[in-house]
Amino acid sequence: MKNLLALSLIILTNIFFVFGKDADTSLQRKYSFGAFNNYDLRNSSTNFIGTYRILNDAFNAFAEKNLNTGAANIAKGFFAFGTNYLTMLWSHEMGHYIRAKQVGGKFNIHNFGLPVPYTTATLPNDITLSNEAIFVTAGFEVNYLNIRSLQSEFIRQNGMWNEDLSLAFANRIMYPIYTSLIVPIDPEKKDVWINTAGDPVHYILPVFKLYSGNEVFIHDSLVNPKLVKFYNQSAIFGSVLNFFDPQFYREIGASFGKKSKNRKPFFLIGNYQNGWTYGTLFNASPLGYELYFQNYLHLNGSQFGLYLKYGRPFKNLGTGLKINDLLNYKSLKADLLAEFWDQDIFGKGVSMEVQGCWKFNNVIGINFTAGYKSKGYVLGKQLSGGPNIGLGITLFR
């Protein structure tokens, strides 16, 4: 009861402060597209976010110019919902497509039907449990890449358009909706783990098989209680963790509140120039579920990010440090991201990456990514060690 009361107070406090601080802000719109090596899931995330923005901005310009106010608002509502839903859904599906190629399989799209498409996968007969898990988790990984990318930009530029925050909200609720509405299951039932249904079950099964030595069932053919606990914890954290993120309520406000407002992030200490705030993130990985505590620190205009990560059932501890605009020379800007981990399967490892953009003018620039990671799991990247290279264009408006 005490825990429930504490949770309620935290949620109510966030709602009070965050919904009370809407404000207009001057932002520069950008559309980024790129190609990445090593089956990097940013091939889906980055490009779908850019496409989503172009579609909505083009429609907004058309609707405002050619439709009366009432008709424009109705049309905009339907269009925004459609592009939001389809971006969330197809970035998820393309994550599966990318990872299927990575593990030597094939992802088959049979139709583009609504509300969900019909897709299947053909995987190698000798696929390892880790590769099977990373294929299944790829959809959710893209969803969480979308959230992290949008939140980072939201705090970095001190605001964001409602459409973008709504997209972050849609990606957040994908996992909870999957486990509660799309494919609700009872993890204590044996048949659930024999005839698996839905991505949450499909990724948890190979992870637990590898972790437990394939002890899915115990005496009298009962489902292993540890597997039941693992599934239930994933479902709970995939939902509840969102409520501890103050920026989550900004996403709700953008999705269901007054559409004419651009919203700013909520800083718990100080303000945008000198302050601290945080975000929370749940991720489904080939090592099990992951919980992120993401800190954003601004000091006299300089911006730093620091995340702490905990995962289970495998030991999965990690941290990451990001310095925004470490290189800031005329039209060339670049960030530094360093990540470190200690994982049961892969041991200790590190990833270093430079991300930046070289602007030619006020309209177009080249974005680039260059780095290297050792063997291990990092959100959105390959399990093996190797370079991570990306190149693309960014349009500005």
Q: Does residue 23 have a pLDDT over 50?
A: no
Q: What is the pLDDT of residue 221?
A: 83
Of 291, 287, 176, 188, nearest to 238 by C-alpha is: 176
Of 313, 307, 183, nearest to 237 by C-alpha is: 313
CB 111 within 8 A of CB 90: no
pLDDT in tens, 236-260: 999 999 999 999 999 999 998 766 5
Task: Quote the tokens at residue 295.
Answer: 């800190």
Domain count, the chain: 1
Domain encompassing residue 70: 2-396
pLDDT in tens, 46-94: 999 999 999 999 988 887 777 777 777 788 888 888 999 999 999 999 9
pTM of the complete model? 0.90
pLDDT in tens, 93-122: 999 999 999 999 999 998 887 788 888 899
In whole angstroms, how far apart are CA 33 and each of 28, 225, 381?
A: 16, 45, 17
Average pLDDT, the chain: 90
In whole angstroms, how far apart are CA 339 and each of 42, 115, 226, 323, 372?
A: 17, 37, 30, 12, 11
Which pairs count as long-range contacts for 69-75, CB under 8 Å and 24+ apart, including other chains? none
Q: What is the pLDDT of residue 12?
A: 34
pLDDT in tens, 354-367: 999 999 999 999 99
